[in-house]
Amino acid sequence: MKKIGLTPYLLLLPSLIYLLLFFAYPMVQSLQLALRREGQYLHLRAEAKEEAAPTGTVAMQTDVTVLDRVRGEELLPNGRTRPVYWFLVEGPDTSGVPVQGWVSQRDVFIESRTESTTARVVNGEATQEWTLDYVRRMVTDFRFGNALATSVLLIVLILPLQFILAIVMALVLQSQIRGSTVFLYIYAIPLGISDLASGILWYSIFTQRGFLNSFLVSTGLLDQPFIFIQAGNQGWMIAAIVLAEVWRATSIVMVIVVSGLQAVSRDVIEAGEVFGANLWQRLRYIILPMLKPSLQVALILRTILAFQVFAVVVAITGGNVITVLANETYRWYDPARFNNPNVAAVYAGFIMLLSLGISFFYLRAVRSQEEATRAT
């Protein structure tokens, strides 16, 4: 009988613990924050008694109309009694439907227990319920459509440029021409720069007194500085974001492509060259098909990161005229702005769903192509 070793499972255990603590648990908490509503609600009673059956539920701070009142006596620990009032009130329940019932004086604020005809609910029981209100609030937010459209536009513009440049950079390094090591150092410079620093750097290039305007004015191409970054030039603002992201993150794709090129046999490439394939044909029919797994990983990684673009957008545009999904997540969470972590959690969950959906599409598309190749 073959003995089953426990070593692989023991090696896998730290990864499982990591996923549970830093992925599964935060994910569950985020979903609860996005889809569960906490609050206090007061149950109206059929009679002026605590044990009476409830007739409806009213939210906190709801104004109600006092229809009737009864006075009772409460026995104190010292043997004395004090008056206790119950009020028959009418007001809208949690769905807006009018309800009636009795409430104790402890649960409402009323100016005069004997004369006032209105009161306000100030006490109740803490409850939790599943709701889609925060999702509806995100979808109906007037900035949601702009944020989604801008995020998709950035992906469409950034990814092709990054992959073309990354493949060219990887081929230059792989060719082992003289000075290729210097190119590696130059290509790797943006890897040591943060998102925010990259955004500030490119903002300094496009600002009114930045490097670009200084060059254009000094060479006589412009008579006066051109304001690239302003509300009326959203196209230039998008261009600045794209250039900053391409400059900052293309090296990540290049590293993945270079790793994939290490697995491409030089004999295969040389065989294609012997049979008369030019550079473009070798790239299209030999190198790119063999790089498919590496390109798939890079494509998934860069798409996910592109949906999370935040610091570059804020540094260049301020995050008001041009906004993205990650910026809206922060705006809703920021205590100085909306201070609504529930809607922020919905935005974060929406970004996650988009990333998972696109990743699944990439995996299915690549697998389908491989199956079609094997079938032929």
CA 128, CA 38: separation in Å to the nearest integer? Answer: 5
Domain for residue 12, yes or no?
no
The pLDDT, as a whole number, for residue 372 is: 52
pLDDT tens sequence across 186-234:
888 888 888 889 899 999 998 888 888 888 888 888 888 888 888 888 8
Domain match, 289 and 306 both:
yes
Domain for residue 8, yes or no?
no
What ranges make up the beta strands (E) of 105-253?
Answer: 108-109, 118-121, 125-130
The CB density around residue 163, as the number of other CB atoms within 10 Å, is 18
Residues 6 or more apart in contact with residue 45 via CB below 8 angstroms: 52, 53, 54, 55, 101, 102, 103
CA 95, CA 59: separation in Å to the nearest integer? Answer: 10
Structure tokens at 41: 């609600």
Residue type, 105: Q
CA 79, CA 81: separation in Å to the nearest integer? Answer: 7
In eight-state DSSP terms, residue 20 is I
CA 313, CA 350: separation in Å to the nearest integer? Answer: 19
Domain match, 51 and 158 both:
no
Residues 6 or more apart in contact with residue 315 via CB below 8 angstroms: 196, 198, 199, 200, 202, 203
Domain match, 57 and 166 both:
no
Domain for residue 4, yes or no?
no
The pLDDT, as a whole number, for residue 328 is: 93
CA 272, CA 181: separation in Å to the nearest integer? Answer: 27
Q: 54 with 46: CB under 8 angstroms? A: yes
Structure tokens at 13: 């255990």
Choose one of 78, 106, 129: the last residue of a domain: 129
**Torsion sign across C-alpha atoms 320, 325, 326, 332:** positive
How far is the CA of 84 from the CAs of 63, 125, 300, 310, in angstroms? 21, 20, 66, 57
Domain match, 309 and 330 both:
yes
Domain for residue 167, yes or no?
yes
Domain match, 295 and 161 both:
yes
Q: How many structural domains is the chain composed of?
A: 2
In this structure, what CATH number is given to the domain that contains residue 145? 1.10.3720.10
Choose one of 74, 103, 129: the last residue of a domain: 129
Domain match, 125 and 174 both:
no
Domain for residue 34, yes or no?
no
Residue type, 139: V
CA 353, CA 147: separation in Å to the nearest integer? Answer: 16
Domain match, 172 and 312 both:
yes
CA dihedral 179, 180, 181, 186 (to 10 degrees): 100
CA 306, CA 304: separation in Å to the nearest integer? Answer: 5
Domain match, 267 and 301 both:
yes
Domain match, 230 and 323 both:
yes
Choose one of 129, 152, 182: the last residue of a domain: 129
The pLDDT, as a whole number, for residue 14 is: 86
Q: 108 with 64: CB under 8 angstroms? A: yes
What is the distance, to the nearest Å, from the Cα of residue 31 to the centroid of all Cα atoms in its chain?
A: 13
In eight-state DSSP terms, residue 175 is T
Looking at the DSSP bridge assignments, the partners of residue 44 are 56
**Spatial CA neighbour of 155 closest among 368, 362, 13:** 362
pLDDT averages per 10-residue partition of the chain, 376 residues: 67 85 86 84 89 89 92 79 90 88 92 90 82 91 93 93 90 78 84 88 88 88 86 88 92 88 76 76 80 85 87 89 92 86 93 89 67 53
pLDDT tens sequence across 237-256:
999 999 999 999 898 899 88
What range does the domain containing 367 cover?
136-375
The pLDDT, as a whole number, for residue 368 is: 46
Domain for residue 304, yes or no?
yes
Match 């701070």 to its residue by tokens.
Answer: 61
Domain for residue 16, yes or no?
no
CA 179, CA 275: separation in Å to the nearest integer? Answer: 30
Domain match, 361 and 216 both:
yes
Domain for residue 20, yes or no?
no
Name the pTM for this structure. Answer: 0.77
The pLDDT, as a whole number, for residue 156 is: 92
Domain match, 97 and 143 both:
no
CA 266, CA 163: separation in Å to the nearest integer? Answer: 22
Structure tokens at 296: 């798939």
CA 33, CA 28: separation in Å to the nearest integer? Answer: 9
Domain match, 77 and 191 both:
no
